[in-house]
Structure 1
Amino acid sequence: MRIFRPIFILLTTLTAAAGQSPKPELISPQVKNAVEKAVAWLVKQQKPAGFIVDEKSDARPKRGDLPSHSAAMTSLALMGLASVGHMPDDPTPEGQACGRALKYVVEGVEPDENGYLGRSDRSRMYGHGIMSLMMAEMIGHAPDEATDKRLRSQLKGAVQLIIRSQQVPKSDANRGGWRYEPSSSDSDISVSVWQVMALRAAKDAGFDVPTEYINNAVAYIKRSYRVERDANGNPKSDSAAFSYEPYGGRQTFSTTAAGLLSLQVCGQYEAAEVHGSANYLLKSPPELNEPWFFYGCYYYAQGMYQRGGDHAATARQKTEQTLIAAQGNDGSWYPRNGNEKSAGAVYATSLALLSLSVHHHFLPIYQK
């Protein structure tokens, strides 16, 4: 089994700028307290069957026919818990809860003949990407050999599904990306980022992911970068946003942060699009009441941390101040705006944990 050794260098900033040696800082007591409360709240939401959702339920789901979005939401919660050090093979109460959550996903999801994970709980390609990323991150941390074996088998099929769905005939603008279903002929950055992170994590875990498919995804994401370019294709501005779709669609902090992190995960640390989107976010930080705050904050915190320097310091301060002030007395967070409200508190709390975990380095996908 492949075991990832946690890197306990609290806030030794991973900076892309040569010669910088930021002074290490300890995680503040306020952040530590917020994380502990959030962990305790998430664990309390776990149902007897192992899934972690907002709704109260003692039901025993049938394999292949799971409560709506329950496998995707449980995967997101598991990544949030693991990001601050609670792994499914730990003997602690939190670790045991993570073990039950992992077993729920790998035992409850029934992939179709193509390896599609998003059908069992109706979470579509969003859920497929989230579950695939979670499985890749949990390689070596399953609570038992049977779960590990099933996890590896499902992940292998899931990776092949992502690759095949990227190859569906698409327009020049949409080529290399993904949308809501494996057969979709269009793409958007929100769905695509989950798939490319899953591919990158699976490749890091030793699965066969030809580089060309990651490169195709990188090219797609770069086409979503909204900036005027010169005759050589170089951006004319050092600050710009990513849009929801290539050459169009809304440009928000959340789409920009998603583009920033995904390119860095793929090793594009010095790409012009990375520099420009980080500069854009430096001037346009997230606000709690805007649409998709928690989703965007996760990408913002992780992506800006990878940049180091002023970008990391500014994002750290903004993320911590905003999330600590918004946390409920019970340890949870709840979305305040738009469609994100319907996703609920498990969703928001899981993403808040991932946002506050940048200095822990437990999950391999965020290690540079």
Structure 2
Amino acid sequence: MHGEAVPRDVREMYDRGLKYLASKQTPQGGWGGSYQGPGTTGMAVMALLASGEDPNFGPYADNVRRGVKSMIAAQNEATGYFGNSMYHHGFATLGLAEAYGAVDDRKLWSAEDRGKGRSIGAALELAVRAALTSQKNNPIGAWRYSPEATDADTSVSGAVFMGLLAARNAGIEVPDESIDRAIKYFTGMTSDGGQVGYSGGFGNGFDESLPRISIAALVYAVARRKDLAEHKATLGYLTGNLEKTAQGSYQQYSDYYEAQALFQGDIDAWEKWNKLLVRRLKEAQQKDGSFTGQFGPETSTQLSLLALALNYRFLPIYER
């Protein structure tokens, strides 16, 4: 599938999903559901950007603009924090980084609002500063739910770290020291067999969690550390278990990260896995275009569409 046109069934599935998401946007520009906040808005904006529709003049241009404005409005102007949790902060930072350079700031604010709202670049710089401050004050060098946390976990840290890496790719300054500390945290949480722990001290609680293994494999790849033994171990686990699905109720979350980890690490393995994903999601998509799961239909749809979006490869963070 690499280098070929996007298959028709993927396009049709994606289009139905986008129509569903567009129909669920709130008057304030965000998305509702149990996980409402700037992070899920960031994921929705990425899903709207990912299939290559013109973000400034295409059919979803208004949805994109309203989503970006909603994220910026939710940001603390003094600290740069997006609020609710560092999960939201990470995904909102990632969403802004993907919108930066694609969405025309001049079209973002109406004449009466102009001058009141921050530009995407200014909001992104603030978000990066908040993440860096949180990491600097954390003795483990990573992130947990609160920006003031003194412990960390690999799931929240993956969300925040990917936001930082996307911002760096967009041209925002992220110090090498910050990247190195985050990578040190992830290597300390990765076993020789590629299993990845959740929280606690280094080397604690290794298990075969597909989402966490995928997160670690992805951050190593995007941080340009594919030479690390830990990247080879996590990627090796994923490529050796292509037909395995996430245990419990985290399927969409797992798909979102595994799609990217395989695409960045082993394109042939991704092609095999992607065929399984497309088949599974075709069976799972509801008549209204949504996908159901633990996170509710709106967030589950965002995650499923972003897993499929590797077929398009328009998002900067999805470039190899």
Q: Give me the TM-score of the superposition, normalised by structure 1.
A: 0.78
Give the whole-Å Cα distance in 2 for the aligned partners of 1:194 and 1:290. 20
Contact 1:84 1:353 survives alignment (8 Å): no
1:156 corresponds to which of 125, 132, 137 = 125
Code of the residue aligned with 1:133 in structure 2: it is L
Residue 310 of structure 2 aligns to a residue in which SS? coil
Structure 1 residue 87: deviation in Å?
Answer: 5.1
Please, which runs of 5 or more residues in structure 1 have no aligned partner? 1-10, 13-23, 56-67, 228-238, 336-340
The superposition leaves residues 315-366 of structure 1 with CA deviations (integer Å, 9 ceiling, x where unpaired) of 212221222221112111011xxxxx2x211111111111111132211112
Aligned equivalent of 2:11: 32
Q: Say if 2:150 is the partner of 1:192.
A: no
Give the whole-Å Cα distance in 1 for the aligned partners of 2:187 and 2:79. 29
Aligned equivalent of 2:302: 350
Aligned equivalent of 2:196: 242
Aligned equivalent of 2:114: none
Structure 1 residue 309: deviation in Å?
Answer: 4.5
Aligned equivalent of 1:315: 273
Aligned equivalent of 1:268: 225
The structure with more helix, counted as a fraction of residues: 2
The superposition leaves residues 138-178 of structure 1 with CA deviations (integer Å, 9 ceiling, x where unpaired) of 112334336584322222121111111111242xxxx2211
Give the whole-Å Cα distance in 2 for the aligned partners of 1:261 and 1:318. 20
Q: Say if 2:60 is the partner of 1:94.
A: yes
1:258 corresponds to which of 200, 206, 215 = 215
Give the whole-Å Cα distance in 2 for the aligned partners of 1:283 and 1:346. 31
Structure 1 residue 263: deviation in Å?
Answer: 1.1
Aligned equivalent of 1:62: none
Q: Say if 2:83 is the partner of 1:77.
A: no
Give the whole-Å Cα distance in 2 for the aligned partners of 1:352 and 1:324. 11
Aligned equivalent of 1:367: 319
Aligned equivalent of 2:29: 50
Structure 1 residue 42: deviation in Å?
Answer: 0.8
Q: Say if 2:285 is the partner of 1:324.
A: no
Contact 1:38 1:353 survives alignment (8 Å): yes
RMSD, matched Cα: 2.1
Give the whole-Å Cα distance in 1 for the aligned partners of 2:81 and 2:267. 40
Structure 1 residue 279: deviation in Å?
Answer: 1.9
% identical aligned pairs = 28
Give the whole-Å Cα distance in 2 for the aligned partners of 1:261 and 1:97. 29
Structure 1 runs of 4+ off > 6 angstroms? Answer: none
Give the whole-Å Cα distance in 2 for the aligned partners of 1:254 and 1:353. 17
1:223 corresponds to which of 160, 174, 188 = 188
Q: Give me the TM-score of the superposition, normalised by structure 2.
A: 0.89
Contact 1:226 1:240 survives alignment (8 Å): yes
Residue 5 of structure 2 aligns to a residue in which SS? coil
Q: Say if 2:107 is the partner of 1:140.
A: no
Residue 358 of structure 1 aligns to a residue in which SS? helix
- Name which of structure 1's ranges 299-308 and 279-288 shifts more when overlaid on structure 2: 279-288
Give the whole-Å Cα distance in 2 for the aligned partners of 1:333 and 1:69. 17
Code of the residue aligned with 2:196 in structure 1: it is F
Give the whole-Å Cα distance in 1 for the aligned partners of 2:248 and 2:278. 17
Contact 2:188 2:203 survives alignment (8 Å): yes
Give the whole-Å Cα distance in 1 for the aligned partners of 2:79 and 2:27. 30
Give the whole-Å Cα distance in 2 for the aligned partners of 1:330 and 1:115. 36
Contact 2:138 2:148 survives alignment (8 Å): no
The superposition leaves residues 165-224 of structure 1 with CA deviations (integer Å, 9 ceiling, x where unpaired) of 111242xxxx22110111111111101111111111111222121111011111111111
Q: Compared with structure 1, are the counterparts of its residues 111 and 266 closer, same or farther at alpha carbon in structure 2 (3 Å cutoff)?
A: same
Contact 2:105 2:120 survives alignment (8 Å): no
- Name which of structure 1's ranges 260-269 and 286-295 shifts more when overlaid on structure 2: 286-295
